[in-house]
Amino acid sequence: MSHPRWDPAELELGELESALGARGVEPFHARQLYRWIHKRGVTDIDLMTDLSLALRAAIKTDCVVSTPRVVGDESSVDGTRKFTLEFSDARRVESVFIPDTPAMTFCVSTQVGCAMACGFCLTGRMGLVRHLTAGEIAGQVRVLAAATGLLDRSFNIVLMGMGEPLHNYDNTMKALRILHSDCGLAVSPRRVTLSTVGIIPALQRLADEPFMPNLAVSLHATTDEQRSALVPPNRRYPLVELLDACRRFPLKKRSRITFEYVLLNDVNDTPEDAHRLATLLNGIKSKVNLLPLNPAPGIPYDRPDDDRVDRFARILVDRGVNVSVRKSRGRDIRAACGQLIVEGGSQRSAAQQMALLLR
């Protein structure tokens, strides 16, 4: 009986057991294959030596194991590495390894480009080219882990690369389940942070997930007028509704929602903004991560000086807000937040990008 070609790297363990079972293969072989791909980073069937030669030959007849291909690897003076990864259709994303933060951290992408069109982000200028599959998202992690010697060590994952994770909800969550499996890299939810601009229906779905990553919400403004200009999805999901969803979001003991706030000089970094932010977050178990803008050509905003950043942070602290100021990593190789971009973006208009978001 012939079967269409299939990709084990795209399957969760149960799906892989079913796929092999349909081919008359015992379930324990699925666990072996899964370990080779997701734990050891091996995608060449011929190298999977605990599978018999006959089984390897049988699997290869209708199977292709995909993996992102490293086509660029740049190192920053601070140890950060930016990888350009290419998929089977020649589309590319950028992913980042950030050492000693204090753990080792992989910043991975969930889309080629992004439909959110945030005004201070280079990725948003690409528009959305396409969603990544679950295997492509998980594949970034195993490729980066292999390249940095971390396949057998603990690391953190932040879904803060190219794309909006909740706009690609099903593939993102499937990738996290693949990464969480004991037969794979066994990544704990505590070591994963999902960053979102706040797509409320998807945020409500996330609240019911068995795999619950840490949540980071990209806020960046303290009024709807200001946020709609900087983060266009706010026109659909305004601040009051977003913050209400955050108040209802289930948190584990000692957990907090991180609110990310990019500071733009003379735009959203005034004392009045700081006081409004403290008021908005009242009653939410939260911490604020302040990110002075990482400037880039084409971004029409400036980075505030250190005095303005310190003033903003002090006001929040005085109002009882838990605050950190993120140190930019990899700025010299354009690997910092908001600086990831590849060639070949979408030509869709802003209105078309918003239509994609609302679908």
Per-residue pLDDT tens for 189-247?
Answer: 999 999 999 999 999 999 999 999 999 999 999 999 999 999 999 999 999 999 999 99
Could you confirm whether 17 is annotated as catalytic?
Answer: no
How far apart CA 42 and CA 67 sit, in angstroms, is: 9
- 117 and 38 assigned to the same domain: no
The rounded percent of the chain whose pLDDT value lies above 90 is 80
- 181 and 250 assigned to the same domain: yes
Three-class secondary structure of residue 336 per DSSP = coil
119, pLDDT greater than 80:
yes
- 127 and 198 assigned to the same domain: yes
In a domain, 127, yes or no: yes
In a domain, 240, yes or no: yes
Angle at 77 between CA 193 and CA 107, to 5 degrees: 15
Residues in the chain: 359
In a domain, 312, yes or no: yes
- 228 and 323 assigned to the same domain: yes
The rounded percent of the chain whose pLDDT value lies above 70 is 90
Q: Which residues of 227-265 are buried (b: 16+ CB within 10 A; e: fewer)?
A: bbebbbbbeebbbeebbebbeebebeeeeebbbbbbbbb
How many CA atoms within 13 Å lie on the side-chain side of 290? Answer: 28
CATH code (residue 36): 1.10.150.530
Confidence of residue 1 (pLDDT cuts 50, 70, 90): very low
- 53 and 112 assigned to the same domain: no
pLDDT score recorded for residue 343: 59
In a domain, 163, yes or no: yes
351, pLDDT greater than 60:
no
Which range of residues forms the domain containing residue 350?
100-358
In a domain, 85, yes or no: no
- 45 and 137 assigned to the same domain: no
Confidence of residue 125 (pLDDT cuts 50, 70, 90): confident
Confidence of residue 297 (pLDDT cuts 50, 70, 90): confident
User: 46-50, 74-78, 110-114, 303-307: which has the minimum mean pLDDT?
Assistant: 74-78
pTM here is 0.91
Catalytic residue among 63, 118, 246, 337: 337
Per-residue pLDDT tens for 248-272?
Answer: 999 987 799 999 999 999 999 999 9
- 135 and 237 assigned to the same domain: yes
- Torsion, Cα of 144, 150, 155, 156 (10° steps): 0
CATH code (residue 303): 3.20.20.70
pLDDT score recorded for residue 354: 45
In a domain, 119, yes or no: yes
Confidence of residue 330 (pLDDT cuts 50, 70, 90): low
Number of domains in the chain: 2
pLDDT score recorded for residue 328: 65
- 179 and 243 assigned to the same domain: yes
In a domain, 37, yes or no: yes
346, pLDDT greater than 80:
no
Confidence of residue 280 (pLDDT cuts 50, 70, 90): very high
- 158 and 289 assigned to the same domain: yes
Which residue's structure tokens are 């006959």? 54
Mean local confidence (pLDDT), 168-189:
97
In a domain, 45, yes or no: yes
Mean local confidence (pLDDT), 133-155:
96
- 52 and 111 assigned to the same domain: no
Catalytic residue among 10, 12, 17, 94: 94
Question: Distances from the Cα of 313 to the Cαs of 48, 134, 231, 319, in angstroms?
Answer: 53, 38, 22, 10
Could you confirm whether 183 is annotated as catalytic?
Answer: no
